[in-house]
Each structure stands twice: as C-alpha cells, then as structure tokens.
Chain A
Amino acid sequence: MRQNIIVLVEDSPADARVVTRAIDKLGDPSLIVMHFDTAEAAIEYCEKDAKWTSNQRQIVLMDLNLPGADGLTCLRHFKSSPRLRHIPVIVWTTSDQPRDIQRSYERGANSFVTKPMGLKAVSEMVRDLCHYWFERTTLA
C-alpha cells in the first residue's frame, strides 16, 4: 500500500497538534505524519533511520524558527544531501518577511507558506498541500 509521508519539523506543540489533527481529519489512511521537534532529529531520521521504499513518497513541512539548527540550515542540508535533495521541502512559518522568503527560495525551498491563523484556515492549507504534492504532482 502506498504511503504518503509528511515529515513535520515543528517545535511548537500547538502547531504540530493542529497539523496532525488536520491530517487525521482528512481520513486518508495513506497520509502519515512524522513529527520532529528539531531540525537535527529530522535530518538524522531521514538520513539514517528511514528505510524509504518505492511505495513511500515524502514531503517535508518545516518551520523556520527552530531551537538549535534553524530551518534555513536544515534546508541547506536537505538540498545538499544526495539522499534527500529530491524531497520537496515546504517552508511553513509565521513570517511573511521578504527576507525570509528570499533566503528560503535561494536555499532551495520548494514552497514558502505563511502559517494561517485559525483551525479552519490551517486545516484547509494542510489539505491543499497534501492534495497538491501527493495527487497533482509527480514526485521522484
């Protein structure tokens, strides 16, 4: 069975909860959330522990402000790693600063989305993202 994995890099429990809940609410059993509090943990998992199979497709949903290595550092790692650089990384942050947007795309972000306010808005955004990346596009 096909697995669509969302690697969520998010230090805010509330935001992680909202995203996880939104995905649960979609009721799609193929959607799996892997949540990490830090960039380091996410990288370690993706580089070493994850045994990607041909049935698995991944996207990374990553906050910019993270304790330890921040989102931009993590992004650079993802985009320079031969094992990981094909995975779409979606920067998802409260920031709407042109500087953050610019830097994210320069370091290879595949999308930049500003976290919306409100459960409904977040749920719709998560739904749209999953729909776009797992159904509308073809992943490597």
Chain B
Amino acid sequence: MQSIVEYLFGAASFMPHGYCLLWRPDLVALHAVSDALIFLAYASIPAALVVLVRKRPEIEHRTTVVLFAAFILACGLTHLVAVFTLWQPMYGLQGLVKAATAIISLLTAIAIWPLLPKLLKIPSPRALQVLNRDLENVNNELKHEIEEHEVTLAELRAMRRELEVRVEERTRELNVAYRDLERVNEDLSTFVHVASHDLKEPLRGIRHYAEIVADDHAETLTEQGKKDLNGIIRLADRLSDLINSLRDYSRAGNTDETLEDVDLNGVLKEAVDNLHSLIVDSGLQIDVPQRLPVIHCARAHALALMQNLISNAATHSNENPRVRIEAEDGGAGMVRIVVSDNGPGIPENLNEDIFKMFRRVAGPAKSPTGDRSEEIAERTTGMGLAIVKRIVERYNGSIKLLPSTGGGASFELMLRAI
C-alpha cells in the first residue's frame, strides 16, 4: 500500500519538475498558469459537448461525440497533473493519466476515420438552405399547378353542364321534329288513302257509264264511237292503276303494320296468283333455282315487293320474258336477293332515275308481237321500283341496279334476315 502511494505520488528519491526549471519563478509561473488555463479550457469543452448531445437527441454519432469529450477531458487532466508535478514528483500518476489519455485518444482516432465519409456526406447548412429553397420552389410550382388544374376542372365541369343542357335541348328539338315528321307522314298517308278512295269512286262511275253506253247501244254506235268509248275505258283503267300505285307507295312506308317472319316462298306463290293474268299475257317465265329465305317484315310489304319486282320484269322484257330470283346470305345478318330479267336492260345514266316515282323506261322498241307488248307496257305506272325501294328502305335495307352483264337488268336487294 505504502509502495503504490509512493509510486503514484513520488518517493523522496524523485525531484519535483520545478528543479528542472531551476525554480526560476518566471518559468515556473509560466508553466503552471498555462497548464492550469489549458486544463480549464479542456474541461469546459467536453461539458459543452455533453450539454449539446443531451439537448439535441437527433444528433447522430453520439458515441463519437462522447468519445471526443472524454479525449479532450483526458488531455485537460494531463495538463492539470503537470501543474502539480512542478512541486510534487507524482510522475506515476502523471504516467497513468497520460496512458489513459493515450488509450482514449487512440480510440477516438480509430473511430473518427470510418466516420469521416459519413460526416462529409452531411449537407452543409448552406446546401440545406439551397435545397430547402429549391423544395419550396417546387412546392410553389405544384401548388400553382394544382390551382390551374382546379380551374381547368371547373371549366370542364361547366362545359359538361353546358353540353348536357345543349344535348337535352337538341333532343327536345329532335323529338319535336320527329313528332312533326310523324304527323306529316301520317297526314300524308291519310291524305293519300282518302284521296285514292275519293278519286277512284268517280272513276269507277266514268268507266261503268262508258261500259253501259257501249253495251246498251252497241247496235246504234258507229265503229268510231265504240273505239272512243273503249278509249275512255282504257284511260279510266290507267288512271285507276296510277291511283292504286300511289296508294301502294304510301302503304310501302307504313310503320304501323305487324311484323312477322315471312317465308318468301309463300309470298312468291301468292304474288304469282295475284299477277296471274299479267304472267299469262306476257308469257313470263319465273326461275327460282333455290328456296327463298324467310325475312322479318310486314307480310303486305313482302307481297308488294315480290309483285312489283315480277311485274317490272314482265312489263319491261322482250318476247319470252324470263325473270330469275336468287337469294343468298348477304353477311352481317342480311339476305341478298338478286332479281334479273332478260329485257333490254337499263342505260347506266338512268340507274338512279328508275327508282323515282312515275319513271318509265322506254320498253322494247317495236317487238314483233306489236300490240300486245304495247298494251302490257301501258299497264305499268312507273311506280313499281319506287315502291320496292320505299319498302326496302323502310326496313333499313337497300336496292341497287347491278352493272349489266350481257343484257337484261339485275337488281340487288339487301334485306334483314330473321
């Protein structure tokens, strides 16, 4: 025990450090005061560091900071011991303090190097300021953009509302227009119906009176008189046909008829029955190579369609008239029906005209059968194809004249299949 105290605080055999300075008062004072001041300074720095670490818990690498504080404090202690060694030869203690300082310093030195790159990475406050400013700018820009977007959004909403209002208005207008159109159509169809009836009534009278005169006065009438009466009868018939075709045209656009699945084979048979006398008079031959399809429409319309196509072929063809009716799948839910005759065909410049009302294309020029074909031609009203077109279009189908391939006319009809 005695020996440790002696070792630390100096045995009588060592001399105090003051001897080395030969006890010159100025040197002793210089050393003592300087070391004392260094100690004070080195003691206060760690205190400050500890306070800093305590108050700013977010500071990273706290251990290193504490290590620094310890290292500085240790340095301070070596200077404090140096003050005492001026008068007391406590070189053992001084050595131990230095050894402790050396260990702490080494640890700190070892710790500082791996930390260096990390510390260098920490942005400087100036850089942080710049970064912050940039961020603020970006933020402001974003805010501005959001505001702009909100304005645009509001504009878009307003535009949409306006559009909705306009669509509503337009729909209302269209509905009104549609109702007007429907009414006009209805009025027109009623008009045609009434007119055709009222026109035909006196016409029947004219014809019948002419017939009665011709019949009752056959003996007293001259040949010319009989011919003239026949003229009246023929014209009355013609006018009657025209009125009928007008009525048929009006009916072709009817939308209030019941729609059903109509077998065109049955319709063809009925059409042929109805047109019996025309077919016999003209000698028309009808070829239907395959069975015809079933379509969805009003039966009356299908019948009018077939009758008009057949009578068109019968009245526009040469001697030995033939009509061929073929059907096939037209794709996209449509049926394609091609009706071709062996007549003179239709000049290309007329292929739009033929579908108009009261259009008659000149029949075959001077056929050897003469009177008969003229008489048949007189039976056409020029309404047949107009009626067909109206019916087809009423069902959103189409009709067109196919380009001529060696005589005759071919019509292509596209109709909705069932």
Contact flags B208-227 to A (C-beta < 8 A → 1, else 0) = 11011001000000000000
B interface residues, Cβ below 8 angstroms from A: 193, 197, 200-202, 204-209, 211-212, 215, 237, 240
Which residues of A74-101 are within 8 A (CB) of B?
A: 94-95, 97
A interface residues, Cβ below 8 angstroms from B: 12-15, 17-18, 21, 65, 94-95, 97, 115, 117-120, 122
Residues on A with beta carbons closer than 8 Å to the beta carbon of B193: 97
Nearest CB in chain A: distance from B369 CB, A: 25
Residues on B with beta carbons closer than 8 Å to the beta carbon of A117: 204, 207, 237, 240
- The reply to whether A13 and B197 contact each other, CB–CB distance below 8 Å, is no
Chain A residue at minimal CB-CB distance from B241: A117
Q: Give 11 CB contacts A-B under 8 Å.
A: A12-B204, A14-B205, A14-B208, A17-B208, A94-B200, A94-B204, A117-B237, A117-B240, A118-B211, A119-B215, A120-B211
Residues on A with beta carbons closer than 8 Å to the beta carbon of B200: 94
Chain B residue at minimal CB-CB distance from A95: B197
Beyond the given A65-B201, A94-B197, A119-B211, please list 13 additional residue pairs across the A-B interface where CB-CB is below 8 A.
A12-B204, A14-B209, A17-B208, A17-B209, A17-B212, A21-B212, A94-B201, A94-B204, A95-B197, A117-B237, A117-B240, A118-B208, A119-B212
With A and B bound together, what is the CA distance between A118 and B208 in angstroms? 6
- The reply to whether A13 and B212 contact each other, CB–CB distance below 8 Å, is no
With A and B bound together, what is the CA distance between A117 and B200 in angstroms? 10
- The reply to whether A12 and B211 contact each other, CB–CB distance below 8 Å, is no
With A and B bound together, what is the CA distance between A120 and B201 in angstroms? 17
With A and B bound together, what is the CA distance between A21 and B200 in angstroms? 21
Chain B residue at minimal CB-CB distance from A115: B204
Nearest CB in chain B: distance from A18 CB, A: 5
- The reply to whether A65 and B197 contact each other, CB–CB distance below 8 Å, is yes
Residues on B with beta carbons closer than 8 Å to the beta carbon of A21: 212
Tell me the dominant secondary structure on chain B's binding face.
Answer: helix
- The reply to whether B208 and A18 contact each other, CB–CB distance below 8 Å, is yes
Chain B residue at minimal CB-CB distance from A122: B208
- The reply to whether A13 and B207 contact each other, CB–CB distance below 8 Å, is no
With A and B bound together, what is the CA distance between A16 and B338 in angstroms? 47
With A and B bound together, what is the CA distance between A115 and B207 in angstroms? 13
Chain B residue at minimal CB-CB distance from A116: B204
Residues on A with beta carbons closer than 8 Å to the beta carbon of B215: 119
Residues on B with beta carbons closer than 8 Å to the beta carbon of A18: 208, 212
- The reply to whether A119 and B197 contact each other, CB–CB distance below 8 Å, is no
With A and B bound together, what is the CA distance between A119 and B212 in angstroms? 7
Nearest CB in chain B: distance from A103 CB, A: 15
Chain A residue at minimal CB-CB distance from B202: A14
Residues on A with beta carbons closer than 8 Å to the beta carbon of B240: 117
Residues on B with beta carbons closer than 8 Å to the beta carbon of A13: 205
With A and B bound together, what is the CA distance between A7 and B208 in angstroms? 21
Residues on B with beta carbons closer than 8 Å to the beta carbon of A65: 197, 201
Residues on B with beta carbons closer than 8 Å to the beta carbon of A15: 204-205, 208
Residues on A with beta carbons closer than 8 Å to the beta carbon of B207: 117-119
With A and B bound together, what is the CA distance between A117 and B201 in angstroms? 10
Residues on B with beta carbons closer than 8 Å to the beta carbon of A120: 211
Please indicate which of the listed interface residues A14, A21, A97 has the most CB atoms of chain B within 10 Å of its own CB. Answer: A14
With A and B bound together, what is the CA distance between A17 and B193 in angstroms? 25
Specify which of A12, A95, A118 is in contact with B205 (CB 8 Å cutoff): A12
Chain B residue at minimal CB-CB distance from A13: B205
Please indicate which of the listed interface residues A94, A95, A97 has the most CB atoms of chain B within 10 Å of its own CB. Answer: A94
Nearest CB in chain B: distance from A117 CB, A: 6
With A and B bound together, what is the CA distance between A18 and B213 in angstroms? 12
Please indicate which of the listed interface residues A21, A94, A95, A117 has the most CB atoms of chain B within 10 Å of its own CB. Answer: A117
With A and B bound together, what is the CA distance between A119 and B240 in angstroms? 15
Chain B residue at minimal CB-CB distance from A14: B205
With A and B bound together, what is the CA distance between A62 and B215 in angstroms? 26
Nearest CB in chain A: distance from B141 CB, A: 76
Chain A residue at minimal CB-CB distance from B257: A98
With A and B bound together, what is the CA distance between A134 and B283 in angstroms? 40
Top 4 nearest A-B pairs (CB, nearest first) are A14-B205, A119-B211, A18-B208, A14-B208
Chain B residue at minimal CB-CB distance from A64: B197
With A and B bound together, what is the CA distance between A14 and B208 in angstroms? 7
Chain A residue at minimal CB-CB distance from B251: A97
Nearest CB in chain B: distance from A98 CB, A: 8
